[in-house]
Structures are given as C-alpha cells and as structure tokens.
Amino acid sequence: MEEIARITENFAPLNLAEPWDCSGWIVKSGNKKARKAMLCLTVIDDVYNQAKALNCDIIISHHPLFFVPLKYRDINIYCAHTNMDCAKGGTTDVLIKHLGLKGYGQGFLRYVDYRVTVGEFAEKLSTISPNMRYVNNLGRKVINKIAFCAGSGSEFIEEAVNNGAEAFVTGDLKFHTAVESKIVLFDIGHFESEIFVLKVFENILKDYVEIVYAKEKSPFISPF
C-alpha cells in the first residue's frame, strides 16, 4: 500500500496541496500489497460497492472525503486532490493535452496561447462537454490567450485577467460571476473538466497494480 502513496506523491507531492485539503490516506485498513485498484473522481456508495464487487484492495480518488462513512472503513482509500491539480502533468494539464493544446503556468492555473474565434473554441470544447455553456458579455470575436483551471476555478478569474487571459475555461460558474465577467468564460462542467485525470493515475500506477475504472458519470442530465 505504501508504494501506491509513494509513487503518487512523487508525481504530485503533498506539499502542493491546500491547507484545508485532505489529500493522502483517507482510509488505511491494512498494509498488504495492493493487487487491484479502482480509480474514480468521487467516492460514493455506488463506487464503494463497485470496488467491493470487483475485489479491489484500494480506491484511488481525485476528490477527498471530509467525512468517512463507517462502512467505507474496510477498504483502503487514497486521494490526490489539490496536489494533483497543481502538479506538472496533473488535472488541468491533462485536460489541455486532451484538447490537443499545450499549456504553461503553475499553481492551479495554466495558460494556452491560441488564436481562435470564440465560436470555434466553443465547438472544440463541446467535443468533451456536450452541455458546455459560455459567457461573452463584451461580444469578443477572437481570443488569443486562454486560462484553464479544471474543477471549480472561478476564484482565479481575476488572476487570469491580470496575466492577460482573454478567456477562461473551468467548471461550476455562478450567475453573478458570469454576469460581471469582462472576459469570455467557458463552463464545461466539473466532472467533464476533471475526468481525464484518471488517466494520469493509471499511467503512473499501472506497472505496480491492476487498474480498473469506476463507472461514473456527471450527475447533471440534459433533457435534449
């Protein structure tokens, strides 16, 4: 089990995590060697039941549990959250890579220099998020520099603007944030922006443990 933590933390050191975060061991129920690991974004009852049914020794998640139900305490659970968000090659980087772009930056934000029309970029994002929505209060036609933050990143909009971004890609945008924005905002959804991070976990751990993916989907349903 310690090997799983060591490998993950070599890639995404725990000192990158926010002080409030619970990255690291959520449940450590034994020290035996992990043979099979289930990867997921979020540990919920359904994911726990899948892991037990498939005889997984450990669940590795992106989102932490701040409260651990008693029944989860019979399986190892490890999380890499904000440390994986900030790590080079982590949550936001893999999103950008999936779009065929190349980013740079540090902390939670990444930037892409990419000249494209707003409409064309919206179409590109819709390939990974069919329910993507965007804000363009000033009617901008072309963007040249785009900031990215997978997950809920609206708190970083001002920082993105100060660094010259003309557009920002994230999830979980609120109404007042949108209505007041002076740059183009793309909300591709929390789930859709982060799901690609599971491939990062697989790539760093596949030589050490059998990997299975939890069956997960966004809780939001489109009526169309």
pLDDT above 90 coverage of the chain, percent: 94
Half-sphere exposure of 161 (CA within 13 A, CB side): 10
Mean pLDDT of 129-153: 97
- 218 domain residue, yes or no: no
In a domain, 196, yes or no: no
**pLDDT, mean of residues 109-125:** 98
Nearest Cα neighbor of 23 from 76, 59, 75, 62 is: 62
Q: Which of 114, 79, 82 is nearest to 96 (CA)?
A: 114
Out of 54, 84, 114, a domain closes at 84
Q: Is residue 14 predicted with pLDDT exceeding 80?
A: yes
Claim to verify: residue 101 and residue 157 sit in the same structural domain: yes
Say if 220 falls within a structural domain.
no
Residues 55 and 102 reside in one and the same domain? no
146-185 pLDDT tens trace: 999 999 999 999 999 999 999 999 999 999 999 999 999 9
Do 71 and 96 reside in the same domain of the chain? no
Q: Which residues pair with 37 in a beta bridge?
A: 58, 211
Q: Where are the alpha helices (DSSP H) in 105-216?
A: 118-126, 157-162, 175-179, 190-194, 197-205
pLDDT exceeds 70 at position 39? yes
Q: Are residue 70 and residue 96 in the same domain, yes or no?
A: no
Q: What CATH number is associated with residue 172?
A: 3.40.1390.30
42-84 pLDDT tens trace? 999 999 999 999 999 999 999 999 999 999 999 999 999 999 9
> For residue 1, what pLDDT band results from cuts at 50, 70 and 90?
confident
Residues 44, 112 share a domain:
no
Residue 224, pLDDT score: 66
Report if residue 132 sits inside a domain.
Answer: yes
Whole-angstrom Cα distance, residue 38 to residue 56? 6
Please check whether residues 67 and 101 belong to one and the same domain: no
- 147 located within any domain: yes
Do 11 and 75 share a domain, yes or no?
yes
Instruction: Decide if 72 contacts 43 (C-beta within 8 A).
Output: yes
136 and 102, same structural domain? yes
User: Are 108 and 67 contained in the same domain?
Assistant: no
Residue 172: predicted pLDDT: 96
For residue range 43-53, list pLDDT tens digits in order: 999 999 999 99
Q: Is residue 206 part of a domain?
A: no
Instruction: Give the domain range for residue 23.
Output: 2-84
Angle between helices 197-205 and 2-11 (to 10 degrees): 120
